[in-house]
Amino acid sequence: MTNDLRQGGVAVIDFGSQYTQLIARRVREQGVYAEVFAHDADADHINQHQPAAYILSGGPNSVYENGAPQAAPHILKSEKPILGICYGMQALTYALGGQVAPSQAREYGPATITHTPASPLLDNLDTNLQVWMSHGDRIEQPPAGFVPLAQSENSPYAAIGDLERNIYGVQFHPEVSHTPQGSAVLHNFLFKIAHLTAKWTPLAVIENAIEAIRAQVGDEKVILGLSGGVDSAVAGTLIHRAIGDQLTSIFVNTGFLRKNEPESVLAVFRDEMGMNVIYNNATERFLDALQGKTEPEQKRKIIGNEFIEVFKEEANALEGVRFLAQGTIYPDVIESASGSKTAHVIKSHHNVGGLPEQLGFELVEPLRDLFKDEVRKVGTALGLPDHIVWRQPFPGPGLAIRCLGDLTWDRLETLREADAIFLEELEKAGLLVGDTAQCFAVLLPVKAVGVMGDLRTYEEVIALRAVQTQDFMTADWVRLPYDLLAQVSSHIVNKVKGVNRVVYDVTSKPPGTIEWE
């Protein structure tokens, strides 16, 4: 994306809070670009897009601990508005000469703060605010020039501010949903204190992305691995909007897609949108490679390697291709893009493993600045159908890791049918979007005795899984209505050959994972 849209936004400085990405998302929801940086990132890196304000995140440390992260001097001297949240507030206080000490009573969870003096930060908010606290230390004495803005039962300085220098701190978390008026606090900081401009919108993102793609690609050719998932779909649509037939998408059918998914992908992108799509039905190839393989990690590696080989064959058959497009999104690159001098790389960030290195292409990643919810908004603005935009997360190996045991075509078809029934009934009940973050069926490698009519049966078992989550790091199972589960079970057992029992997975993450393999 061009610099213009990103300039004049907010730099979110990460001190290790689990909510850091959420801060950036909440700022963006108000139309202001926000970018996350490690607390120890170089000044030039943090200031590359000329942020107009800084937000310092919370974190697990105490400012007095040996090696605890500190507020960077260049931020304090920037003369730009600063908001410190929880640990960020304590780091500001400590750096500017105030006093921080362990709290007599650690505050964790809901609390009520009271604010009386008029201040831009808490302007037009209720005198008594419900907030979410999570801290062990508290401010004992604010730095010179700061005044108290709010207090709670355990925190005499639940919010402070230097109204002359536009530096503020809050002991609570305005970014979480448990602080009902938290968005209003952030709104006040962004627009009444920092006087920023709301220009980060889906249409503006699309315009900038198209401009950036054209500038990067010129007259060269681009290939894209199209999976049908929202990220590759939106990336492909953006690139096609920018350069038309210079883009060729390669769609590999591994045999592990859901019911009617290959037909749906081709209908949308090739037939309706007129994109150049090469379709490779490699089902038999993948099944042959996985014959007799049941160990989950082995299956993943085989599928990944086989996909690369198929993609390479198709790519090598094309002439004059210089660029490889990928649907990499912002959470994938925050770790490497943060500019930290000390952080470890948690995972590799190429969402098609090994392809850039093995094929020698330059990367085009038009979504790398976007969170998932922003990708969906851009997809909708581009005119993509809801079943693509709101497609639930689907693992790269697909049904191969939801079909436990031997991977045969018949067992995959059994799973496909059961999964389709489950999703269809959830959609009818209005529970497929919003109420469930991810839901699917799993075919178990066990058989159970049953009775159908007057006959004894000995057939396989389907497990249903539905979870709700904010970040997929943790998840809880969805309390689906019993009547709905009964209806799904009845339909599967009566309509899907080879299944005589349905169970519902009531395991949260942790201790379980969302997928079974």
**pLDDT digit string, tens, across residues 188-211:** 999 999 999 999 999 999 999 999
In whole angstroms, how far apart are CA 505 and each of 336, 430, 462, 476? Answer: 35, 20, 10, 11
Rounded Cα gap, residues 236 and 246, in angstroms: 11
Among residues 39, 115, 135, 175, which one is catalytic? 175
**φ/ψ of residue 138, rounded to 5:** -150, 165
Taking residue 119's Cβ as centre, other Cβ atoms within 10 Å add up to 21
CB–CB of 61/363 below 8 Å? no
Q: Does residue 389 register a pLDDT over 70?
A: yes
Rounded Cα gap, residues 121 and 194, in angstroms: 10
Percent of the chain beyond pLDDT 70? 93
The pLDDT assigned to 280 comes to: 96
Say whether 86 is catalytic.
Answer: yes
- Dig out the tokens for 483 from the structure: 């009547």
CA atoms within 13 A on the CB side of 34: 27
The pLDDT assigned to 343 comes to: 42
Instruction: Tell me if residue 65 falls in helix, strand or coil.
Output: coil
Place of tokens 């349905």: 502
Taking residue 237's Cβ as centre, other Cβ atoms within 10 Å add up to 23
Q: Does residue 353 register a pLDDT over 80?
A: no
Candidates 488, 374, 362; CA nearest to 425 is: 488
pLDDT band at 254 (very low <50, low <70, confident <90, very high): very high
The pLDDT assigned to 262 comes to: 94
pTM: 0.84
242 is in an annotated binding site: no
Using one digit for the tens of pLDDT, what is the confidence trace for 446-490? 998 887 776 788 899 999 999 998 767 788 999 999 999 999 999
| Alpha helices in 443-509, H assignment, sequence order | 482-495
The per-residue b/e assignment along 449-477, b for 16 or more CB within 10 angstroms, e otherwise, is eeeeeeeebebbbbbbbbbbbeeeeebeb
Task: Specify the range with the lowest mean pLDDT, choosing from 96-105, 274-283, 353-362.
Answer: 353-362
Q: Does residue 350 register a pLDDT over 80?
A: no
Among residues 173, 187, 240, 349, which one is catalytic? 173
Q: Does residue 345 register a pLDDT over 60?
A: no
The pLDDT assigned to 333 comes to: 75
Place of tokens 């693509």: 388
Residue type, 401: I
CB–CB of 250/223 below 8 Å? yes
483 is in an annotated binding site: no
The pLDDT assigned to 64 comes to: 85
**φ/ψ of residue 215, rounded to 5:** -65, -40
Average pLDDT, stretch 178-192? Answer: 95
pLDDT band at 375 (very low <50, low <70, confident <90, very high): very high
The pLDDT assigned to 1 comes to: 45
- Dig out the tokens for 442 from the structure: 């799993």
Q: Max CA-CA distance within the chain?
A: 85
CB–CB of 325/365 below 8 Å? yes
The pLDDT assigned to 228 comes to: 79
Q: Is the peptide bond before 395 cis (omega within 30 degrees of 0)?
A: no
Place of tokens 């200031």: 47
CB–CB of 453/442 below 8 Å? no
- Dig out the tokens for 220 from the structure: 């060269």
Say whether 403 is catalytic.
Answer: no
**φ/ψ of residue 224, rounded to 5:** -135, 135
Walk me through the domains of the chain, giving residue ranges and CATH numbers.
3-193 (3.40.50.880), 202-389 (3.40.50.620), 402-504 (3.30.300.10)
Candidates 70, 197, 182; CA nearest to 126 is: 182
C-beta pairs of 423-429 under 8 Å, 24+ apart in sequence: 423/258, 425/484, 425/487, 425/488, 425/491, 426/466, 426/484, 429/481, 429/484
The pLDDT assigned to 348 comes to: 36
The pLDDT assigned to 346 comes to: 33
- What is 167-181 written as a DSSP string? EEEESB-TTSTTSTT
Say whether 425 is catalytic.
Answer: no
pLDDT band at 356 (very low <50, low <70, confident <90, very high): low
230 is in an annotated binding site: yes
Average pLDDT, stretch 494-508? Answer: 95
Rounded Cα gap, residues 404 and 421, in angstroms: 19
Within its chain, how far is the Cα of 171 from the centroid? Answer: 26
Average pLDDT, stretch 344-368? Answer: 62
Rounded Cα gap, residues 277 and 265, in angstroms: 10
- What is 255-277 written as a DSSP string? S-SPTTHHHHHIIIIIIIS--EE
Rounded Cα gap, residues 345 and 46, in angstroms: 18
CB–CB of 339/45 below 8 Å? yes
Using one digit for the tens of pLDDT, what is the confidence trace for 23-65? 999 999 999 999 999 999 999 999 999 999 999 999 888 888 8
Taking residue 246's Cβ as centre, other Cβ atoms within 10 Å add up to 21
The pLDDT assigned to 432 comes to: 86
Rounded Cα gap, residues 182 and 169, in angstroms: 13
Residue type, 182: G
The per-residue pLDDT of the chain, averaged, comes to 89
Using one digit for the tens of pLDDT, what is the confidence trace for 111-154? 899 997 789 999 999 899 999 887 678 888 999 999 999 998 88
229 is in an annotated binding site: yes
Candidates 212, 271, 273, 268; CA nearest to 240 is: 273
CB–CB of 431/415 below 8 Å? no
119 is in an annotated binding site: no
In whole angstroms, how far apart are CA 165 and each of 78, 98, 152, 193, 374? Answer: 10, 16, 25, 10, 33
Among residues 86, 187, 240, 306, which one is catalytic? 86
228 is in an annotated binding site: yes
Could you say which DSSP state residue 151 is in? Answer: B
